[in-house]
Amino acid sequence: MTTISADVFSMTPCRVGESPVWDDARKRLLWVDIPKGRIHAKGEDGGAETFWDLPEPVGSFGLTDDDRLVVAMASGVYLFAPDTGKLDCLVEPEPGEYARPAKNRLNDGKVGPDGAFWVGSMHRDKPTAALWRVTAEGRAERKIRDLSTSNGLAFSADGRMLFHSDSRQRWIDRWRLDPQTGAISERTRIADLEEEDGRPDGAATDQEGRYWSAGVSAGRLNCFSPEGELLKSIPVPPDAPTMPCFGGSDMKTLFFTSLRRPESQNPNCGLVFSLRVDVPGVPVHRFRT
């Protein structure tokens, strides 16, 4: 099967490109190279990239309502002011874990319709990770336990459904969400995947309720219905796409990041791509400070 015609958005190679976030106010895409701890930004119309280096690996981040970023570094959640470089620790959901060899670190995260930052952790070998809901008061509430690699966070357009995956355990779940309180209920397993299907990594939702998942082990983007029916499975240029994100002035540009494995000979690996789609995506929310 041939790959789709996707455009290269950024030629800057990332070891582990992740967490693309569309900033509608500034018309730019932001993303991170996790192990480097570097957040990149590039405008919709191209031009030079901007970047900021942080002192730890960065698993994910989100926009805030005061022009800062809420950032999940390996050990904790921070508020970062790009204009000044000021970095303030908000909370360490799993204190001390990152300092120990082969223990948990924070991973995929996204701001929800409740204005909180939802962020999960991961462990190399054991299901000791969790999904957390972090508020501006510095409160971290554990929502889901016994995870291996928390990933794939995305919210429906009406804010009443939460999608979530575990990359290592290879499943995708749907939860009912109270967009005011952040309460979740009615957990439903909508997909169990094999490596050749595409292990579920980062994700995004569109206005028709479809869930777009990066199939990191199979070089494809998988599009599911809310009930888990596989509607599309699209091969993409990089071997390991990591997360899609809707953006652009009409929210019909699907950006996606990728990673580069040491043995890869594919020059597309680690780059950021974009492609046009027919259905607009769900805009990202902002962390309420």
Question: Which residues define the annotated binding site for a divalent metal cation?
Answer: 18, 151, 201
Binding residue positions for substrate: 105, 107, 125
The residue type of 233 is S
Residue ranges of the annotated binding site are 18, 105, 107, 125, 151, 201
Residue 197 falls in the annotated catalytic set: no
CA 243/CA 255 separation, integer angstroms: 8
Q: Which of 157, 162, 283 is nearest to 208 (CA)?
A: 157
| Pairing verdict, β 87-91 and 105-111 | unpaired
For 204, the token pair is 């995004």
What gap in Å lies between CA 118 and CA 152, rounded to an integer? Answer: 11
Looking at residue 273, the DSSP 8-state letter turns out to be E
CB 272 within 8 A of CB 16: no
What tokens does 46 get? 């191209």
* Residue at token pair 């355990």: 169
The single residue of 114, 173, 201, 239 carrying the catalytic annotation is 201
- The tokens of 245 are what? 């994100």
Spatial CB neighbours of 171, under 8 Å, sequence gap ≥ 6? 165, 189, 191, 192, 193, 200
Number of residues that this document lists for the chain: 289
Instruction: State whether the Cα torsion 38-55-140-90 is positive or negative.
Output: negative
Known catalytic residues?
201
